[in-house]
Structure 1
């Protein structure tokens, strides 16, 4: 990544980490758009440059791409109006909505024509974990505490198969999805959970050796990542932002979101996450964020 892009990424990280809340405007001169930190932040910033250019042209104003240090920082940035638009994971959106009720999900990515995606549980191909039952007594790697496909869903899957966190297996939170895959490949954890799309991407790029890691299980469909905006933005700007995403057809830009396109969504699409948390007796107010 060149120096200019590095400075842009660093500035974004500094912005959301600041304690002072910048003045909020219904028609901001620069639109701040946050992308979920589910992989390396520098790589996300770099790959998002074509998307930035597209959005600037569509909206007629500068766009700043931000990648926060973690999910919690992104939720707080949305809560305190340090960003106007954010690409949340399903669970991190639910957590953000609980703290900032006025925010609005307006578009969701399509994967192979469906507004859903899946989580996978992976293990070393030649390691001690051959089946889901073998995870008992082992160490499992989750991603961020507020991650859907790298925490909530794999944790629920294990619970449905009689494996309760802390009681039946140890676990660690490793942050980003790619960190989970690398920890499994490196033997730091015996199994882990992450987004299937991210896992497939890591294998395709050669970041992870597909011959060394096997998929033990795949989840049921999960509502895909929503695009979310501040609810008190100018109505014309809100319509323009939504239109820009719904009209987005460039395949290279869509790779930023691991999507084939966007369609309209709403808050009720994510009730399944709230229900899953209740089944696990997880208090969403106590999850980081």
Structure 2
């Protein structure tokens, strides 16, 4: 009888510990919607499988239809780790208890990637100057509102710096994913569209017959490579497993290297932190300041107050960047 009670108590304790372990180590990996869910799953699932095998974690991939879906899922703890662009990572850090811990590396040795403005190779739009002078005649395919390369970077470097308000200057503005914008250009369904070098590389390697149909009109300054973000409240043991996996993934194994190449021409991962978001934050604040300065509906006092508040935030970021 005593041995039976001991067995039952031991079984109950083991069951309790097992349930706690499973709960602690089951996480959801959110991946931003730069492409269709089926295409993203095909490219990312091999890495997710390796992550499960090598860490013992129970990781499930989570694909939303837009960037906001991943940000909100992390906010409500439905997603614990995610692959973001820099602009959407800012939202995850500020609103969703997120923290940057790694970033992707590129096979070509670049420290990041580039935003592009593209058109069909047979389009009448042959130069960026021609586009900027004729916006009223152009249908623009723009990026997701939380996209760094699809929205934030071209809105600032290409349009705001040339005195163009994206919302009012064009014949139409159609926000969409990188894949949808690329296909719209290739199929001559839209005049021009924002995109990035990652998607162009994907088209070149996976759909080489489509690559000659794309003409690049503009290329941005370098954008820091895309970050991985985890929730700050993840157990430290789980963070350690994740960091160890990403620090060493695709270092030597040819199969793992092929997985990274298939995702988007990546070669692996490097450690990072929230500091990589500082230049993107600066860009967003400068863009906001320009919008306030050009807002004819604001009275002088409100405009000055908002500009002063933005200048204070910009100065704080400048101090952070200097450190």
TM-score interval for Structure 1 and Structure 2 normalised by the shorter chain: 0.7 to 0.9
Contact 2:103–2:269 (8 Å) recurs in 1: yes
Cα distance in structure 2, aligned partners of 1:25 and 1:130: 59
Corresponding position of 1:41 = 37
Contact 2:119–2:216 (8 Å) recurs in 1: yes
Following superposition, the deviation at residue 277 of structure 1 comes to 1.4
1:124 matched to 2:125? The reply is: no
Following superposition, the deviation at residue 234 of structure 1 comes to 1.0
Following superposition, the deviation at residue 194 of structure 1 comes to 0.8
1:57 matched to 2:64? The reply is: no
Following superposition, the deviation at residue 27 of structure 1 comes to 5.8
Higher-RCO chain (CA-CA 8 Å, sequence separation at least 6): 1
| Unaligned residue ranges in structure 1 (runs of 5+) | 1-23, 284-289
Corresponding position of 2:84 = 88
Corresponding position of 1:231 = 232
Cα distance in structure 2, aligned partners of 1:236 and 1:224: 26
Listed as ranges, the matches of 1:245-264 within 5 Å are 245-249=246-250, 250-255=256-261, 256=263, 258-264=265-271
Cα distance in structure 1, aligned partners of 2:276 and 2:85: 13
TM-score (norm: length of structure 1): 0.83
- When the two chains are superposed, the root-mean-square deviation of aligned CA atoms in Å is 2.2
Higher-Rg structure is 2
| Unaligned residue ranges in structure 2 (runs of 5+) | 1-19, 251-255, 293-323
1:279 matched to 2:275? The reply is: no
> How many residues are aligned here?
259
Corresponding position of 1:108 = 103
Cα distance in structure 1, aligned partners of 2:274 and 2:48: 26
TM-score (norm: length of structure 2): 0.74
Cα distance in structure 2, aligned partners of 1:219 and 1:237: 37
Corresponding position of 1:190 = 191
Which runs of structure 1 show a deviation greater than 4 angstroms over 4 or more consecutive aligned residues? 24-27
Q: Deviations over 1:81-122 (max 9, x none)?
A: 00111001111111122212x311100011223331111111
Name the CA shift for 1:269/1:72 in 2 (closer, same or farther; >3 Å). same
Cα distance in structure 2, aligned partners of 1:86 and 1:25: 21
- Give the match's secondary structure for 2:166: coil
